[in-house]
A and B are shown apart, each in its own frame.
Chain A
Amino acid sequence: MDLTLYVWRQAGPAAPGRMVEYAARDINPDSSFLELLDVINERLAERGEDRIAFDHDCREGICGTCGFMINGEAHGPLRGTTVCQLHMRHFKDGEILRLEPWRARAFPVLKDLMVDRSAFDRVIEAGGFISVATGSAPEANQVAVPKPVADRAFEAAQCIGCGACVAQCPNGAAQLFTSAKVSHLGLLPQGQPERLARALAMVEAMEELGFGACSNFAECEAVCPKRISIDFIARMNRDYLKAKAQGTPGRA
């Protein structure tokens, strides 16, 4: 199949960027979107031109490294899928596709389709953990976790940190990502002692990092490759408001 691509090319963080047209000919419909870019890149490289930079690693939809916008949709048109698991058979021959990096103030573009998502790490560092030093853990079956609670925590824990939620959110908000971690740990008995302090610290870090405010647009949920539910956003808000109401001290 043949496709026309417009790809955002930007040489570096401070450089201006623009859309550049590429014709993709004879693309195998069984290849993945990243393999399509590989093919284009290989042709560019052999001509000595600069390849299109994009992040990727596992190519199995689990590491969260890949991701860009295809025609204004994070990870492209297929729901519950990362670009590395998006296959060309889902596009029509002759289609025009616009590829752009995640755009958000908290995610500066590094090059082409590659952005800096380290703000997510900062959010986790603010409190996205259970404080348990190696060696101090009790026997694993000492605390029973009701299966529904464990399953719910698992659903939240599935977030792969890809950033699609932020990219799609018209407000550049990181609510879905942050709430997934707040909920994963806040649901489990092991996470109870730090529950409110964690919500407080993570929300405050998130807001300081330049993410926007949530207007409950639910765009994030629609593009999340792990289909994380916005119910977790409500849960995070509740924990946060509760922490404020109880005067929970933040982390130092």
Chain B
Amino acid sequence: MAWFPDLYRSAIGKKAVMAVSGIILFGYVLLHMIGNLKLYEGPKALQDYADFLRSAGTPALPASGLLWIVRIVLLAAVVLHVVASWQVTTASRRARPAAYAGASRIHTGYASRTMRWGGVIILLFVVYHLLHLTWGAAHPSFRQHDVYHNVVAGFQVWWVALFYVLAQFALGFHLDHGLWSLFQSLGWSHPRFNGWRRGFAHAFALLITAANVSFPIAVLTGLVR
């Protein structure tokens, strides 16, 4: 394992770690989004899905075993991603201590400019989200193992729904730059597919944002109740 600290020492190494953890997080968010679509199939479908997640991997693994493996991987990914992003951000601040008087951005889009604050919003969102829908501590009427109720009741509070929507936009922008950026960070560049990288990032960022935003909206508008 000596290679890891060695690689991690360099900024390019840190960015590679961020890219790989970003891919893991992206993979989770994508699957999570697909799973959440069961919301539209009614309480039973969603509940079955939630139960399935808990029992997946049995009997080879104990109940919730696979879920815990996933949780550990996710937690590790989040920690690495956040710590590395903190470190590269401070290094870059040090490298460019002074701003220009006539500041104008030429190329950087909104998405890439907001990576740092966007990341913080996502982090806050996840903490809140866990308190809200997983642990129920921040939920007005949390019912253990009644996922459908928790979601619908949760989103019926308009400002909660609004916060979810805003957070999804933050995530969308983060992915819009991140899903393109990771190709650069990992050196995946070739004239044959370089044209696709932006499209890939835009498409998945849009897909995930649209789908995730649809959940609170659907509840608020009464489409799902």
Query: Do A and B contact each other directly (Cβ–Cβ < 8 Å)?
Result: yes
A209 nearest in chain B by CB position: B95
A70 in contact (CB, < 8 A): yes
Partner of B6, one of A98, A170, A244: A244
Instruction: Find out whether the CB atom of A237 lies under 8 angstroms from the CB atom of B16.
Output: yes
In-complex Cβ contact of A71 among B94, B104, B177, B189 (8 A): B104
Docked-complex contact A241 and B16, CB < 8 angstroms = yes
Please choose the segment from B27-35, B36-44, B156-164, B180-188 that sits at the chain A interface, where 4 or more of its residues have CB less than 8 A away: B180-188
Chain A 194-205 per-residue mask, 1 if CB under 8 angstroms from chain B, else 0: 000000000110
Q: Mark A210-252, 1 if CB is under 8 A from B, else 0.
A: 1111111111011100000011011111111110110100000
Are B92 and A173 within 8 A (Cβ)?
Answer: yes
Q: Which of A103, A171, A212, A238 contacts B187 (CB 8 A)?
A: A238
Closest B residue to A79 by CB, please name it: B106
B106 touches A103 (CB 8 A): no
**Are B12 and A217 in contact, with the CB atoms below 8 A?**
no
Cross-chain contact B181 with A216 (CB below 8 angstroms): yes
B119 shortest CB reach to chain A, Å: 12
B100 A235 Cβ-Cβ under 8 A? no
Residues of B within 8 Å of A211, CB to CB, are 95
Asked if A213 and B184 make an inter-chain contact with CB atoms under 8 angstroms apart, the answer reads no
Question: A106 at the A/B interface (Cβ < 8 Å)?
Answer: yes
Closest approach, in angstroms, between the C-beta of B156 and any C-beta of chain A?
Answer: 39
Q: From residue A165, how far is it (CB to closest CB) to chain B in Å?
A: 12
Q: Which of B3, B11, B187 contacts A234 (CB 8 A)?
A: B187
Chain B interface helix/strand/loop/mixed:
helix
**When A231-B189, A241-B16 are in contact, do A210 and B101 touch as well, CB less than 8 Å?**
no
Contact partners of B186 in chain A: CB under 8 A: 237-238, 241
- The answer to whether the Cβ of B222 comes within 8 Å of any Cβ in the partner chain is no
A19 contacts the other chain (CB 8 A): yes
In angstroms, how far is the closest chain B Cβ from the Cβ of A69? 6
Asked whether A171 and B112 contact (CB < 8 A) given A217-B107, A241-B12, the answer is no
Q: How many A-B contacts are there with CB distance less than 8 Å? A: 141
Question: Do A170 and B92 form a contact, CB below 8 Å, given A70-B102, A234-B184?
Answer: yes
Contact between B100 and A203, CB atoms less than 8 A apart: no
Interface positions, chain A 95-115, Cβ under 8 Å from B, are 97-98, 100, 103-106
Query: Is B72 part of the contact surface with A, judged by Cβ < 8 Å?
Result: no
Which 5 A-B residue pairings sit nearest by Cβ, starting from the closest? A238-B187, A212-B95, A234-B189, A172-B95, A171-B92
- Which residues of the partner chain B approach A236 to less than 8 Å between Cβ atoms? 187
CA distance A223 to B180 in the complex (A): 21
Residues of chain B contacted by A221 (CB below 8 angstroms): 107
Q: Knowing A170-B96, A203-B10 touch, does A217 contact B189 (C-beta < 8 A)? A: no
Contact with B along A146-182 (1 / 0, CB 8 A): 0000000000000000000000111111000000000
